[in-house]
């Protein structure tokens, strides 16, 4: 039988009353240290949570899946989601609990912010990024302001909260978009390698492969260079060179025969191509490599 996950306003507290706060903030160690730095799986039906990890590390659990926590990051947890944490003993930062009805956007509504808030996120803050530094400053300032009882406190808390949430969502979405671009480029490189394997003997130009992938030759060249350090033309030539080297070492065909097998109509052109790419003629390279292998 599945054990039910407890519901809290604040972890470990069951008051049985309606919440008497719209926002609560405390340091992460102040509560987690009471529980051996482990916050067991639970949920908050009416509250959205933000954790700012200033230092230390740990793990976050969302719906039974664990993810690593690193310093200088923001964790956002939507209402009604099973979650838990394991923290290192040197953990430091803040946990902010907010009535979801008091937020600028409701998690799950049709706004971009609401859609982002409907799922949990671990957003690493790159402190070289101005927005990331401002998020950290806002959350630290929110923690300080919460501990005071000064004029304008609620308005400032709301301002810091809104700024931090909006910027964290922006940073998170930008990172997801960057990762999506990386994933798409990796997919294209896999397709490109397959296409080159099938067509390298026909000596197709980079434009042929770009057209097969549905992108411009310039875009293809940019992707290949970012991934391999070579231009698209160089990558194609290296494949042809690798096959030529394999043929020269492991077959007994003449240089002329190998040239024809690799799609060169002129053996002399093959020799010039090989000399340019490898720095040696095919014949001298073959003799040197076979001597190394004792063939």
Q: Out of 80-89, 108-117, 181-190, which region has the weakest mean confidence (pLDDT)?
A: 108-117
How many angstroms separate the CA atoms of 158 and 156, rounded? 5
- Residue 2 pLDDT > 60, yes or no? no
How many angstroms separate the CA atoms of 99 and 267, rounded? 77
Answer with the residue of higher pLDDT: 37 or 179: 37
Task: Find the mean pLDDT for residues 89-93.
Answer: 96
Instruction: Determine the 3-state secondary structure of 56 from DSSP.
Output: coil
pLDDT band at 68 (very low <50, low <70, confident <90, very high): very high
Per-residue pLDDT of 241-262, as tens digits, reads 999 999 999 898 999 999 999 9
73 closest CA partner among 112, 129, 113: 129
Answer with the residue of higher pLDDT: 238 or 63: 238
Per-residue pLDDT of 161-174, as tens digits, reads 999 999 999 998 88
Write out the residue limits of the CATH 1.10.10.60 domain(s) in the chain. 203-293
pLDDT band at 183 (very low <50, low <70, confident <90, very high): confident
Per-residue pLDDT of 194-219, as tens digits, reads 999 999 999 999 999 999 999 999 99
CATH architecture group of domain 23-181? Sandwich (2.60)
Average pLDDT, the chain: 90
Task: Find the mean pLDDT for residues 274-281.
Answer: 94
How many angstroms separate the CA atoms of 228 and 270, rounded? 25
Question: How wide is the angle at C-alpha 291 spanned by C-alphas 289 and 295, nearest 5°?
Answer: 95
CATH 1.10.10.60 applies to domain 203-293: yes
How many angstroms separate the CA atoms of 74 and 295, rounded? 61
Radius of gyration of the chain from Cα atoms?
30
The pLDDT value recorded for residue 14 is 65
> What per-residue string of b and e applies to 106-143 under the rule 16 or more CB within 10 Å gives b?
bbeeeeebbebbeebbbbbbeeeeeebeebbebbbbbb
Write out the residue limits of the CATH 2.60.120.280 domain(s) in the chain. 23-181
The pLDDT value recorded for residue 1 is 34
- pTM score of the predicted model: 0.63
Instruction: Determine the 3-state secondary structure of 105 from DSSP.
Output: coil
């Amino acid at each position: 039988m599945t054990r039910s996950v407890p519901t809290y306003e604040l972890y470990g507290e069951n008051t049985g009353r309606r919440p008497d706060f719209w926002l609560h903030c405390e340091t992460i160690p102040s509560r987690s240290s009471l529980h051996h730095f482990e916050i067991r799986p639970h949920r908050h039906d009416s509250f959205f949570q933000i954790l700012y990890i200033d230092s230390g590390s740990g793990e976050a659990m969302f719906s039974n899946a664990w993810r690593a926590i690193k310093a200088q990051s923001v964790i956002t947890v939507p209402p009604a989601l099973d979650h838990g944490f394991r923290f290192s003993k040197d953990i430091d930062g803040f946990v902010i609990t907010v009535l979801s009805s008091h937020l600028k956007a409701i998690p799950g509504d049709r706004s971009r912010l609401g859609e982002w808030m409907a799922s949990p996120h671990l957003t690493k803050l790159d402190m070289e990024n101005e927005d990331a530094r401002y998020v950290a400053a806002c959350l630290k300032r929110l923690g300080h302001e919460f501990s005071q009882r000064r004029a304008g406190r609620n308005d400032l808390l709301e301002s810091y909260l809104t700024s931090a949430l909006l910027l964290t969502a922006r940073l998170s979405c930008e990172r997801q978009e960057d990762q999506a671009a990386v994933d798409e480029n990796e997919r294209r490189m896999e397709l490109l390698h397959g296409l080159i394997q099938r067509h390298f003997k026909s000596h197709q130009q980079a434009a042929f492969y770009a057209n097969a992938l549905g992108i411009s030759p310039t875009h293809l060249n940019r992707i290949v260079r970012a991934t391999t350090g070579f231009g698209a033309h160089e990558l194609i030539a290296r494949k042809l060179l690798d096959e030529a080297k394999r043929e020269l070492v492991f077959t007994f065909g003449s240089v002329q025969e190998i040239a024809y097998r690799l799609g060169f109509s002129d053996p002399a052109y093959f020799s010039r191509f090989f000399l340019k790419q490898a720095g040696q003629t095919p014949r001298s390279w073959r003799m040197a490599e076979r001597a190394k292998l004792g063939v």
